[in-house]
Structures are given as structure tokens and as C-alpha cells.
Amino acid sequence: MKKDANKSPSPAKLRRHTEKALLASEERYRRLFEKSHDAIMTLEPPSWKFTTGNPAAIAMFKAKNEAEFVSCEPWKLSPERQPDGRLSDEKSQAMIAKAMREGSNFFEWIHKRLNGEEFPATVLLSRVEQDKFSFLQATVRDITGQKRAEEALLESKALVEAVVENIPLMIFLKEATDLRFVIFNRAGEELLGYDRKTLLGKNDLDLFPPEQAAHFVAKDREVLDGKAALLDIPEEPILTAKKGRRLLHTRKVCIRGADGTTKYLLGISEDITERKQAEAEIRKLNETLEQRVHERTTELARANQELETLIRIASHDLRSPLVNIQGFCQLLNKACASITSLLADVSLPDEARQTLAASREKAEKSIRFINAGVEKMNSLIGGLLRLSRLGRAPLVLQSLDMNVLLNTVVEAMTFQIRAAAADVTVETLPDCRADAALINQVFSNLLDNAVKYRDPARRLRARIWGRHPGWGRRPGWDCREKDAHTVYCVEDNGLGVAPEHQQKIWDLFYRPNHQENGAGEGVGLTVVQQIVERHGGKVWVESEVGKGSRFFLTLPADEKEAKP
């Protein structure tokens, strides 16, 4: 038995065993050949035509069956030239020769299906030795899908690169580990004044002064350590190689890998130097304007004060020569009285009497003229003084019951009103906030004018009325006034003011020509205008000669709108 165990198998048994193993291996190979997704075919010398083709090869090349496939001329299964420009025939000979020489050859190839459609493929040519005969086995894989995906990937990569490259903002990407630059766009090169070759692979410490580099690194770390998802640095100074000191607005974010680990730091910086300079200049310009307004206001206030002083001094100084003139007039009057007593002397010769009488008459006439002139001058100076006092006195603002105030005004004028047999009506008036004494002056002047400039042809009817803010629209009256001011009107049926005088009557000493010698100084309306404007209001007149006038004025309706 022992002997049997060591006994080698008989040759017949060995052959049977080998044949069985061979059959099994052939079966495995056949299955692989038939089920493979890759096209598998054999080519044999010397024509190197395909001699077999698996079902995948038949389907790939769109042949009806294996017979049609193997009967095909090889040149029909490739386009005339390959992408490198070489003739497919010539190149395939070279590929085959290499595979035969080296045992195998792997390469990319453009094939052609029998319907003429071309497709990219990888080809593996393997030399097979059988019974001293060498042939080739080709494994062809259609890589159309892979090529398309690669192209799409390249295209989207090119797109992203084009955007990054052309965007007018500095874009950079740093490795999270050592903060070295791995991407830098054109705007970044221009801003920093270095070319990309210099920048890539470097970090901030290689490029900037130590203090500045330390600041950048600290900010990068803040983002990478997760302290801020997005770091916004609105104004970041930077010292660049060519442009010197610039001001940036920088945003930094952390880029993570699929596994969540920090991979890169992405930075986007905008050069805001020029914008900030422009903003500063505009601010400076605005200030200089404001400054000019302030200077002019101060200048105007000073000029006004000087003018007031001048008026005060002039009016005061003009008064003394007037007193002198009046004094000498009195002396002249006395001289006239002496002449009168001389004339009483009966012994006086007739000729002398006549001469003396004529001289006395002339002197008395001159004295009358001088006196009238002096009086006129005196009243003008009085007007000037009143006006100069107006500018200086501070406003005492209070809520005014205008009906009470107008009662006082009308009462004070009772004598003139009666003398003129005038009919004066005061309607219910809205209140305002103003200086009582000054507003009394305003209405006194206006009512006095109504009486003075009445039409002798008819009985004077004067009416004082008022409206609350928001009443109608009038010339020279803007919305602000309309909303915050009350309106008052002194209306009469007097002589009226001709259109050409309606603006000028507000000027100091202005009186229409025809009444040059009549009563009045031409100061009353100027005083009215000054007072109303000091309160922030406006005055205007509507009038028609022969019919009458309406003198309007606005005053602040409440405390907020009152101007000191």
C-alpha cells in the first residue's frame, strides 16, 4: 500500500488530467472573451487583419456578425489620419511592430465604426506565442464618455481660470499648512508689482516687511482656525513693490476638503486707495464750503454792525448842526421883529420904509423854508435812528393774541381814524409767535399808511384779516412758509400803488415822485419789512391804482419755526 502511495500517476491518467484542465481553462477564457465589455480580437501576420472578434468587438464596430467583422479591411476601421497627423495605416504598422518587438503596446487610437462614426479608444496589443507562431491580441476600450467628461472638466476649469484671471480684484489662494501662495491672478500681480513666478510658492514673510507679514498671517490664522467663517477687513494698508502704500478691502475665507479638513485660504482684495482719496477730497471740499458760508455770515454780521454804528453816529452828529440852524433862525426871527418895530417909527422916510419891509418879507420867507427843511431833516434822522435801533434790539418772542394786539393799535390811532371818518374792521385773527412791541409797530405803520394814502373821493374802508398756516398760495411764498407761517393782511380801498412802485416802496426813503413834498419819510414800510424778515417771515403787496391795496405779511405760527 505504501509502495502504491509513492507511485506516480500513469501517463494516460496524466494526459486526461491535463486535457481536463485545458478544457476548463479554455472555457474560462471563452467566457471572458464573450462577456467582456472591451472589444477583444486577434490579428495575424502578415496582413494583420482581424481574425477573431468577441461580441463586444462586433457591437463596438457596428458589424452584423463576426464574419462581417473579420472580413473587414483594417483600413476601414480607422480614419485616414490620427490626431497627431500621421496616416493611420503607417502608424498602426509601427504600433504592431512595437508590440511584436516588446511583447505589448498600450496607446490611444481613433477608430471608425462600419457606419463611419469615429470614436476614441485605448488599445492594448499583446503578443501571443502559440506553436512557434506569433500573433497579436488587441483589447480595445471605447473611451468616448471618459473623453467627454475630461473635456467638460477642462472646459469648466478653463472657465474658472478665465474668471479668476480677468476679474479686476486681487485673488489669491494659500496652502493652509504653510500659507504659501498657490494661485495668484493678474490683478494681484499688477497690484503687488511682482510676477506670478516670483509670488507662487512664497508666503507673506518672503514678500512684505515683518510687521505687515505678521498682520496678514494673524488674519489668515483667524480664518483657518475657524474663528471667523468670512473675515471682512474694510481698510487694510499694504506696502507694495511698485505702487507703494495702498489701501485694500480684503475678504478671506477658508476652503475645506471633502473630509472637512482645512485645505486653502482664499483671499479677495479690492484696491480702494483712489476711492478713499476721492471721498476724503469731497469731504474736504464740503468742509471748505461750509467754511465759506460761515466766513460770509460773519463778514455780513460785521458789515451790518458797522453800518448801524455809522447810521447812529451820523444821525446823532447831523442833529447838532440842525440845532444850530434852528438857533440862528430864531436870531433871524428876532431881527425881523426889530425891523417890524423900526417900521412903526413914523419919521422913517418912505423909501427906507419900503426897502426895510421888502427885506423883512424876504427874510421871513427864507426862515419858513429853512424851518421846513430842518423839520424834514429832523424827521429823516428820526427815521434813520428808529431803523438802527431795530437791528440791535434782541427779539422777545412770545405767543401773541393778535386780536388783543390789534385792539391796542386801533385804539392808539382813534384820533386819525375819526378825523378821516374811516371804517376800520379787524376780523378774528390767528395767533403767532413774535415780538409784541415790534409787531405793534408793523401794524401801526400799515394802518397809518392806509389812513394817509386814502382816496379823498370815497370813504376809507380798512380791513385787517389773517389766515392759519397752509392757506392758499401767494407770490414769493414757498412751501415751508405755507406750512409753518400764519398770513396777515391790511387791506384798504385807498389810492393804490402803481405796479412800477410796488417793489421799490419797501426801500429806505423811497416815495413815489408825485408825493415828494407830502407827509412821510419813506421809512415806514422799510421798518415793516425789517421786522417781519427778522422773524423769518415775508412781506409783499397786491395793489391797483384807484381801487386799493393789500399789504401781506407772514409770521411764525409756533415756537419751533420762530427765528431769533
Contacting positions for ligand ADP (CB under 6 A): 445, 449-450, 452-453, 492, 494-497, 505, 511-512, 515, 520-526, 549
Cis peptide before 46 (omega within 30 of 0): yes
Least spacing, CB of residue 394 vs ligand ADP, in Å: 24
Residue 299 contacts residue 286 (beta carbons within 8 Å): no
Side-chain half-sphere CA neighbours of 249 within 13 A? 8
Q: Classify residue 548 as left (phi > 0), alpha (psi -120 to 50) or beta.
A: left
Q: Which three cell numbers stand for residue 44?
A: 495575424
Cell of 235: 481698510
DSSP letters for 504-562? GGGSTT---GGGTTSS--S-HHHHHHHHHHHTT--EEEEEETTTEEEEEEEEESSGGG-
CB of 544 to ligand ADP, least distance (A): 11
- Cα dihedral value 187, 188, 193, 197, nearest 10: -110
C-alpha span between 184 and 203 (Å, rounded): 12
| Choice between 267 and 383, CB closer to ligand ADP | 383
Q: First vs last Cα of the chain: how many Å apart?
A: 140
Q: Which is nearer to ligand ADP, 106 or 509 (CB)?
A: 509
> 435 or 492: whose CB is closer to ligand ADP?
492
Q: In what order do the strands lie in the sheet with 423-426?
A: 423-426, 461-467, 485-492, 548-556, 539-544
Backbone dihedral region for residue 260 (phi beyond 0: left; psi -120 to 50: alpha; all else: beta)? left
Which of 74, 520 has the CB closer to ligand ADP? 520
- Where residue 313 falls (left for φ over 0; alpha for ψ -120 to 50; beta otherwise) is alpha
Query: Within a 10 A sphere around the Cβ of 557, how many other Cβ atoms?
Result: 20
Of the pair 201, 546, the CB lying nearest ligand ADP is at 546
- The least CB distance from residue 368 to ligand ADP, in Å, is 22
Angle CA(301)–CA(305)–CA(310) in degrees, nearest 5? 150
Q: Which is nearer to ligand ADP, 68 or 542 (CB)?
A: 542
Closest CB to ligand ADP among 103 and 476? 476
Instruction: Give the nearer residue to ligand ADP in terms of CB position, either 405 or 497.
Output: 497
Roughly what angle, to the nearest 10 degrees, separates helices 436-452 and 402-412? 50
Residues 6+ apart with CB under 8 A from 34: 54, 55
Cβ proximity to ligand ADP, 496 vs 536, nearer residue: 496
- Min CB(293)–ligand ADP separation in Å: 32
Query: Between 293 and 519, whose beta carbon lies closer to ligand ADP?
Result: 519
Q: How far is the CB of 459 from ligand ADP (least distance, A)?
A: 15
Residue 320 beta carbon to ligand ADP: minimum distance, rounded to whole angstroms: 25
Rg (CA), the chain: 58
